[in-house]
Structure 1
Amino acid sequence: MRNFKLLLTGILLFSSLAMFAQQTLKGVVKEKATGEGLPGVSVVVKGTTNGTSTDFDGNFQLNRVKTGDVLVFTYLGFADKEVTVGTNFNITVELEESSERLDEIVVVGYGSTTVKDATGSVEAITAKDFTKGNIVTPENLLAGRVSGVNVVSSGAPGAGSQITIRGGSSISASNNPLIVVDGLPLDQNGVAGSRGVLASINPNDIESFSVLKDASATAIYGSRAANGVIIITTKKGKKEYTFDYDVQYNVGEVQDRIDVFSADEFRAIIAQQRPDDVGLLGTANTDWQDAILRNTLSSNHNFTARGTIFNRIPTRLSVGFTRQEGAILTSRFDRSSVSLSMNPSFFDNHLKINLNYNRAFEDSRFANGGIGAALRYDPTQPIYDANSPFDGFFQYYTVQPGGDVVVANGTQNPVASILLANSTGRNARQYGNLQFDYKFHFLPELKAVLNLGYDESEGSTLFLSDFQIGNPDQTLQFAGTRATGFSKVTNELIDGYLNYKNDFDKFGVDLTAGYSYQKFTNNGGNSGNLRDPDSFSTTFANPDVVNIGYFARANFSYDSKYLLTLNYRRDGTSRFSSENRWGNFAGAALAWRLSDEDFLKDSEVISELKLRASYGETGQQNLPGVNDIYLNRYRFGNQNSQFLFGGNAIQSTIPSVVNPDLKWEETTTIEFGIDYGLFDNRITGSVNYFQKTSDDLLFNAALPDGVNFGNAVIQNIGELQVDGVELNLNATVFDTEDFNWNFTFNATYLDREITELANGEDVRTGGTAGGTGNTIQLLREGESPFAFHVFKQLYDTSGNPIEGAYADLNGDGIINDDDRYLKENPQADVTLGFQSNFNYKNFDLAFNLRASIGNYVYNNVNSSRAQYAFLQDNAVLGNIPSSVVNTNFVNTSDVLNSDIYIENASFLRMDNITLGYTFDQPIKKLGARNSIRVWMGVQNVFIITNYSGLDPEVFGGIDNTIYPRARNILFGANIKF
């Protein structure tokens, strides 16, 4: 009995000591580089659900901690850190920016994960990885950085870009990815006066991008995610007071020109071929391309202040001013923006509030054509004429007194057509969101999130032209125009969801379920020539588009090695009738981390190896037209469309084409992937194979006669299949105290094929210049979309092309449209991206390379202009591309569809290279953070290609006087206090 009492006393004493050993640990988490406290850092006792997060000062308090426990610290953009608890229960922890991508947190739809725990195809790009250079719009931060993502930009100032992920999923509907900014999905429709959907967003305000590519990752966005999702997260406030000033200047010059005949060469041709018209030539030597192009000077200023206000609210305030001159006379883009972010925490960090508000103003002037005219205009004529009645510009008289024709349909003076026209656009945009994130006191594993978003754009355009021409009486006839346009677009969002996250020994659960409501409103109008009393004026008010969604996601893990993700969304949209309004979209993904298995966990070579497989369904509802095509709609006819009733003229109403059976496209994706890390993750990357199949393609297909109120209507007819392989490689080559070198490489192979079309019939598309109603591309079952539809050119025995001579491919003895064949397509077979970063002490050097292999372009500049058409009687004496000497073609109409104009446009381009030097702590009294980095760089450094045009990167594969890209020399400084 005595021994039992002693044993019982020992057990009670040991239990008391164990309970006494579990103490409350306090600490602070700081950013190592700056010493600033980090708010919102996750702190968890490893292997348990016992955890908390830091407050806005970086402080935390964690109960039930004992000596020997391992604490795991996790924060977006920073490497995870594990700290073993010793005898000191008041600690300071410093986190470093993540150099290992496997530890980085990736923002996904309605939540986040880490790269190593992701089961779908997701890539995160943070600020340190962004493409550098003269970046005016956000999408260009991604150029060449993510496999499967292709960004094609115009050379126009502030111009938007064409973004496609994995080749897109549609043919005639939108191929744009869904873009989400701080939880707010953006409207992809353009607004009057704006250069593009993202033109008003200041790239300096962006913290990170997450690119969701496979359907298991995108399915939670349902009916709008068939083309992938790009999630943009903006920068937030911090505790420490800091001030940043980023300034950049750049000078630009267009390096290349389209070769045309010089003035002397042109005079020689006219003297030989049309000697009677030599008197129409001038004595000048004008290079009209040089005349309309200019060297540019652009600037970018960003001011950022961060700190805590009212001792409670971490705040970030940013102001930006961008002025970008275009290479063509008068064109420019100005943007002023202000961004406010406030992210306080309350109730012992259980309630987090994020407020983001952005206001931006765009002011643009658009160049009024000029490029085509510069190629065409007579090089022997001057720009200015002191005796000219046309504001001092030289200009042909169409006719002389008495009616004698001098130049019929003469091209306008290119410089005058630009300078005498004022085409402007203005846009004001405000957008942002207010998010409440509450972790329940009685159940901290459960949190509720409410996100309220708003986006409003209001813009206008104005076109003024004072161009004048002469009439037979030699008096001036005013031919100016004045036209206006305006629109207002609003986007309202309410999202709410619950998230439960917990670990039960080795079994982890992360459950999310919620509701989403979003409404888009689009109103506006335009006018005809306001100086013409008979001009028209119209106002439109598209029906509101309302999207409602119910969504859920479940993440399960066992022993952190076996991962399962399930997604589901039920979507409803007002774009379709009640019978087809609702759709169900689901996705599933499995992952197995082999590197954590016993047979690999001690490997000195393989540090990370994960196998992934996923399947999912997503949708597409962006119609290439109106939003209510399922409704019976009527429009008023014009004054010539009236009928008599009871002796009165009644204006007619005309029914519009209708399709009540329309529903969204559906895309099914299957993917298999491998994520790998080698040599302690000095080399990391992934390999993915995927296949996308899009059914019920939204397509404007022909109708049988008499069955509707039009010749064609948008229908769900067709199927597209995309197969692809992606490779990603990230490597740290050197990592020493003084020298660091890392690079990233990505490659994508795509194969697109139309597997079904309406009634199996070909569809012509791809309009071209050089005639009326001409097309050069075709959609055909079994072929790539938008393949070029051309005649096979015949050549003589010397290898010279024979004008108008084509192969009789079908052997019927007649050369007609049936002899056209498909030759190549605009889609690249392979795209490559390479970025390298060097750091030696305080020096840094970075550059980007991109390559495209197997893409073709139809050179419409040559096909519509490089013919000796002016040798014909009464033809306008206009210049032409000098490439005509390679063909000696005369008649444009005879050669427009020749395959001689289909050119291989593969290229290797260096987008930019920058060199910088950082002065650490130039002002010692301001502390460790203050620094000044000065840098210089070159953008659009070089391009290697066999394409004969100005640039092989062309929207849609048809090159017809694109806006040229300039080479920019950049200078800048990043000043931090």
Structure 2
Amino acid sequence: MKTTMKRLLLFLFFVPIGLFAQTVVKGKVTEKSTDIPLPGVNVVIKGTTTGTSTDFDGEYQIEANSGDILVFSYVGYQSVEIPFTGGATLNVELAEDAAQLDEIVIIGYGTTTKKDATGSVEAITSEDFTKGNIVTAENLLNGRIAGVSINTSGAPGSGSQIRIRGGASINGSNDPLIIIDGLPISNDGVTGSRGVLASINPNDIDSFSVLKDASATAIYGSRASNGVIIIVTKKGKSTFSATYDTQYSFGEVTNTIDVFSGNEYRDLVRSQPINGTTIDESLLGGANTNWQDEIFRNTVSSQHNITMQGALFKVLPARFSFGLVNQEGALRTSEFERRNLSLALNPKFFDDHLKVSLNANLAFEDNRFADAGQIGAAMRYDPTKTVYDPNSPFGGFYQHRDGNQVANGTTNPVAQLLQRTNLGDANRVYGNLNFDYKFHFLPELRAVINLGYDKTEATGLDTRDRLQATTDQDILFKGERRNNSQKRTNELFDGYLNYKKDIDNIGLDLTAGYSYQKFTNEGVNGRNLTDPLSVDDFYTDPDVVLIGFFGRANVTLNDKYALTLTYRRDGTSRFSKDNQWGDFPAAAFAWTISDEDFMKESKVFSNLKLRLGYGITGQQSITEKDIFLNRYRSGRTDSQFQFDNEVIQSLIASEINPDLKWEETATIEMGIDYGLFDNKVSGSLNFFQKNSTDLLFTASVPDGTNFSNSIIQNIGELQIQGLEFSVNTDVINTDDWKVDFNFNATLLDREVKELALGQDVRTGGISGGTGNNIQIHREGEAPNSFYVFKQLYDTNGNPIEGAYADLNGDNVINDNDRYVKENPGANAIFGFQSNIIYKNFDFAFNLRANLGNYVYNNVRSSRAQYELLLDNAVLGNIPTSVLDTNFQRTSDVITSDVYVENASFLRMDNITLGYTFNDISKLLKSVRVWGGVQNVFTITNYSGLDPEVTDNDSDLTLTLGIDNVVYPRPRTVLVGANIKF
């Protein structure tokens, strides 16, 4: 009994010790999606001040009692609370707080939240980018945002035509202002480069913000009429990770212009007299050559990206990346190569009061340009002739010859490609250094200074083989080597103050600042290095200096009502002193209806906001930067004067317009942002109207009033009205399944409201004659409308050659009988994307559609006539579409409305399927392998090669909506892998 009592007392003694003893808990905190360790995570025992944080490897150690609740929190991630029930190890995964990350929206000179935004701003982050064979940055946005259309040709590394809400000008630029990490860049191209964004590595981009209405864009004043695209690159992080992305693509041209085969052509020539004369059959050869197949090729291209990020010296967040692109063009000899190096450093000082951001980028772009004019030549070249001729003095290539001279007509397109080496190199360094200081004595006040720099040095060398054929009647061309170079710089200084404070139920966000930007451009239009008499032509453009004073006030009341007032005063060196300065104000109001008492209990609307905005923006992009200066150019070499024994070359005064000023665009917008069912469904509906006045326009002036018969003037008014709708939804969101989609639609109506003296302006030059124009600017019509004759048809529905309707009834068919038939602009633009994830599988695709856009088929109008079978005693092929019309003469039919075709289309740009292997090893976190197809299909009734006519390749001279020669988009099969360490 005594022994039992002792044991019981001993047990009672140790029970309290067991109850109150603390256990040392260890563990590791990682990011849920990547398994990457997270340093700096706060680990706190709930309800106490006891806590710690994870180290560089994401590991922590804390003493806890059974029953304690451990709280794990980290900025940008969802907090986790875990009851401690015992054990020595507790590993935790934190998931990104998507709602928190998506809330921030980048705007001009600062940020806002989706809730507080009063303007039309849409943000797309890297998770939502378009997937596939993305070589240039802008294609990450393709089809993603309402009101934004991006059209890219099939040339490797090709630039794109970007339009936001249809642009805002007629003759001026319609390109949006593009800003990279606070640095506005120039839209002017440089020698040796494919485009202004061709040197940017898409893998380095973190997000796009698209500012569409004037209340959002007015902060950029004189350059914001066509919208603003703000690009933010990826920044350094404290968490170490490394990623390797690789991708290979295999392209094939699947569609070419239908022309006659060799056998079909021989039969056609034998049966088809030209102007009543039978063609000499001795001109025919015995081959069956498809010249389009000969100039196009299957392509193999690759992309590689290596990224490393982490804390240098354990305190300095950093990111480094290297990218390599090798892209073959579908047209033989066309190639694009780019190498990118980027470094991002993001340290903080003085208890996080000073934030410094350094973004430095190097880009090396190497191009070999192929003469895209040979696409047209391949359509025309005689299919009965061979590619090679061992007896030819022109490098072994067949050429039409008259004895030992090149006969009139086109030259062998394969030879023209292979015997020419046109190289271009563009080396670019760009970036910014940003200082963001929060005052110690007044933390609501921040001072921000942003220094930006962008410099491109480019060279070009165009070499032609001495045996290359030419129609100048020389047996040997004697070769040619022309070089050129260019240097373009862009320097920026921005400084502004921002004051942000909540006073009771009033929120203030005030910004005021100054901006200075300078552009320089100089170069050499090189001489022919094989000609000792040739000389270099040096040029230096006048510096373009832009100065701006800007301010913005955001005022919110009760988190429900928001008012934004913006003002910018801009100065430019492009105009004379009297017109150098412009004022660009804007105002916007937003009412968050869903926060009202009568809406708070709604089971349907989780967000409902009404927006109203008005603002004025500008346009000052003109080609002649010194149009207001007195300038002179050299006269003809035989225009000379002799004084004594000295011969003086004459000078001719150039045109001048000292009254030139800003083109201005006033925009009014009304919009609704909505969120349904706890924001499972969200989107916006916007109506807008843009009126551009004082249009920068090249127009005629009376004889004798200037030194040219046409100069740039401020004339006319253009109005664009539109309606935008977007919807984003999570259809399914479970542990195994995630399905979402995005749909956007834009309706556009464009109208020329006013032109100088109400006069029409002809435009749209076409092939197939001299001085022919097929488009017109006319009051009351859309810009670039097609201006054609109304075709007459016989009783069988066949067009009658040269027979047009007498629309004005004067019994004479002349220009007065031409009429406006449609225009190139689409009335409706649609985009649809979807992402489907099942466990480790991911599937994505995106579709685009245009409705109501028309194209003038200049391929058919200038080539599909029987008279072209014989051109200057040389046989030439023609499109098989001639069988639809049986037209004989080009000059009789080229302005017929039969060639204006509806080019509406539905296109699937990309489709991808991937699988991710997780937790492969301690070193290897995950591997995603994927495959896909780009340019999957296009559904259209347009008879040409592509309903999206592009005019962005330097080798092609195309006009909006005119299909002369299109660089085909190849269908590309993609395979790739993403490896995370």
Q: TM (normalized to structure 2)? A: 0.90
Letter in 2 for 1:375: M
Q: Is the Cα contact below 8 Å between 2:174 and 2:226 reproduced in 1?
A: yes
Q: Is the Cα contact below 8 Å between 1:314 and 1:342 reproduced in 2?
A: yes
Judge which range, 521-530 or 138-147, deviates more.
521-530
CA distance in 2 between partners of 1:471 and 1:782 (Å): 47
Q: 1:390 aligns with which of 390, 394, 403?
A: 394
Where does residue 720 of structure 1 map in the other structure?
A: 718
Where does residue 919 of structure 1 map in the other structure?
A: 917
Shift of 1:114: 1.6
Q: Structure 1 residues 467, 779: CA separation in 2 closer, same or farther (over 3 Å shift)?
A: farther
SS of equivalent to 1:690 = strand
**Pairing of 1:124-273 with structure 2 (within 5 A):** 124-273=123-272
Shift of 1:54: 13
1:950 aligns with 2:954: no
CA distance in 1 between partners of 2:641 and 2:343 (Å): 59
Where does residue 626 of structure 1 map in the other structure?
A: 624
**Pairing of 1:312-711 with structure 2 (within 5 A):** 312-368=315-371, 369-397=373-401, 399-400=402-403, 408-466=407-465, 468=467, 476-533=475-532, 535=534, 537-623=536-622, 625-711=623-709
Q: Is the Cα contact below 8 Å between 1:407 and 1:876 reproduced in 2?
A: no
Q: Is the Cα contact below 8 Å between 1:321 and 1:335 reproduced in 2?
A: yes
Q: Is the Cα contact below 8 Å between 1:101 and 1:115 reproduced in 2?
A: no
Judge which range, 319-328 or 387-396, deviates more.
387-396
Letter in 1 for 2:962: I
CA distance in 2 between partners of 1:281 and 1:110 (Å): 68
Q: 1:931 aligns with which of 922, 926, 938?
A: 926
Letter in 1 for 2:33: A
Q: Structure 1 residues 260, 873: CA separation in 2 closer, same or farther (over 3 Å shift)?
A: closer
Where does residue 968 of structure 2 map in the other structure?
A: 964
CA distance in 2 between partners of 1:871 and 1:443 (Å): 82
Shift of 1:637: 2.3
CA distance in 1 between partners of 2:620 and 2:966 (Å): 30
Q: Is the Cα contact below 8 Å between 1:56 and 1:345 reproduced in 2?
A: no
Where does residue 902 of structure 1 map in the other structure?
A: 900
When the two structures are aligned, how many residues end up with a matched partner?
917
Q: Is the Cα contact below 8 Å between 1:79 and 1:100 reproduced in 2?
A: no
Shift of 1:530: 3.7
SS of equivalent to 1:600 = helix
Q: 1:286 aligns with which of 271, 285, 289?
A: 289
SS of equivalent to 1:825 = coil
Q: Structure 1 residues 395, 441: CA separation in 2 closer, same or farther (over 3 Å shift)?
A: same
Letter in 2 for 1:661: D
1:766 aligns with 2:764: yes
SS of equivalent to 2:600 = coil
Q: Structure 1 residues 470, 483: CA separation in 2 closer, same or farther (over 3 Å shift)?
A: closer
Q: Structure 1 residues 123, 96: CA separation in 2 closer, same or farther (over 3 Å shift)?
A: farther
Q: 2:935 aligns with which of 940, 944, 960?
A: 940
Shift of 1:96: 3.9
**Pairing of 1:857-896 with structure 2 (within 5 A):** 857-870=855-868, 875-896=873-894
Shift of 1:171: 0.4
CA distance in 1 between partners of 2:40 and 2:508 (Å): 21
Q: Is the Cα contact below 8 Å between 1:469 and 1:476 reproduced in 2?
A: no
- List per-residue Cα deviations over 1:548-601 (Å, max 9, x = no partner): 001111111111111111111111111111111111111111111111111111
Q: Is the Cα contact below 8 Å between 1:501 and 1:511 reproduced in 2?
A: yes
SS of equivalent to 1:543 = coil
Shift of 1:869: 1.2
Letter in 1 for 2:370: A
- List per-residue Cα deviations over 1:112-146 (Å, max 9, x = no partner): 11222211000000001001110000000001000
CA distance in 2 between partners of 1:58 and 1:436 (Å): 29
Q: Structure 1 residues 926, 637: CA separation in 2 closer, same or farther (over 3 Å shift)?
A: same
Q: Structure 1 residues 186, 931: CA separation in 2 closer, same or farther (over 3 Å shift)?
A: same
Letter in 1 for 2:617: T
Q: Structure 1 residues 240, 473: CA separation in 2 closer, same or farther (over 3 Å shift)?
A: closer
Letter in 1 for 2:949: V
Contiguous gaps of at least 5 residues in structure 1: 1-27, 43-52, 60-70
Q: Structure 1 residues 592, 414: CA separation in 2 closer, same or farther (over 3 Å shift)?
A: same
**Pairing of 1:15-26 with structure 2 (within 5 A):** none
Where does residue 827 of structure 2 map in the other structure?
A: 829
- List per-residue Cα deviations over 1:239-286 (Å, max 9, x = no partner): 122110000000000111110011011111222235552111111110
SS of equivalent to 2:687 = strand
CA distance in 2 between partners of 1:427 and 1:874 (Å): 42
Shift of 1:813: 1.4
Q: Percent identity?
A: 64
Shift of 1:58: 11
Q: Structure 1 residues 469, 964: CA separation in 2 closer, same or farther (over 3 Å shift)?
A: closer
CA distance in 2 between partners of 1:679 and 1:307 (Å): 39
RMSD, matched Cα: 2.8
Letter in 2 for 1:137: T
CA distance in 1 between partners of 2:700 and 2:741 (Å): 51
Q: Structure 1 residues 696, 865: CA separation in 2 closer, same or farther (over 3 Å shift)?
A: same
- List per-residue Cα deviations over 1:673-715 (Å, max 9, x = no partner): 0000111111000000000001110001111111111111111
CA distance in 2 between partners of 1:831 and 1:367 (Å): 32
CA distance in 2 between partners of 1:474 and 1:170 (Å): 45
CA distance in 1 between partners of 2:620 and 2:658 (Å): 14
CA distance in 2 between partners of 1:824 and 1:486 (Å): 42
SS of equivalent to 1:812 = coil
Letter in 1 for 2:923: L
Letter in 2 for 1:746: N
Where does residue 809 of structure 2 map in the other structure?
A: 811
Letter in 1 for 2:690: K
Shift of 1:467: 5.8
CA distance in 2 between partners of 1:54 and 1:770 (Å): 73
CA distance in 2 between partners of 1:881 and 1:737 (Å): 56
Letter in 2 for 1:944: I
SS of equivalent to 1:117 = coil
- List per-residue Cα deviations over 1:203-256 (Å, max 9, x = no partner): 000000000000000000010000000000000111122110000000000111
SS of equivalent to 1:260 = coil
Letter in 1 for 2:374: G
Q: Is the Cα contact below 8 Å between 2:169 and 2:692 reproduced in 1?
A: yes
CA distance in 1 between partners of 2:478 and 2:896 (Å): 38
SS of equivalent to 1:828 = coil
CA distance in 2 between partners of 1:520 and 1:811 (Å): 56
1:296 aligns with 2:291: no
Q: Is the Cα contact below 8 Å between 1:400 and 1:474 reproduced in 2?
A: no
Shift of 1:602: 1.3
Q: Is the Cα contact below 8 Å between 2:553 and 2:566 reproduced in 1?
A: yes
CA distance in 1 between partners of 2:33 and 2:653 (Å): 67
Q: TM (normalized to structure 1)? A: 0.90
Judge which range, 881-890 or 863-872, deviates more.
863-872
Q: Structure 1 residues 943, 474: CA separation in 2 closer, same or farther (over 3 Å shift)?
A: closer
Shift of 1:781: 0.7
Q: Is the Cα contact below 8 Å between 1:56 and 1:344 reproduced in 2?
A: no
Shift of 1:505: 2.0
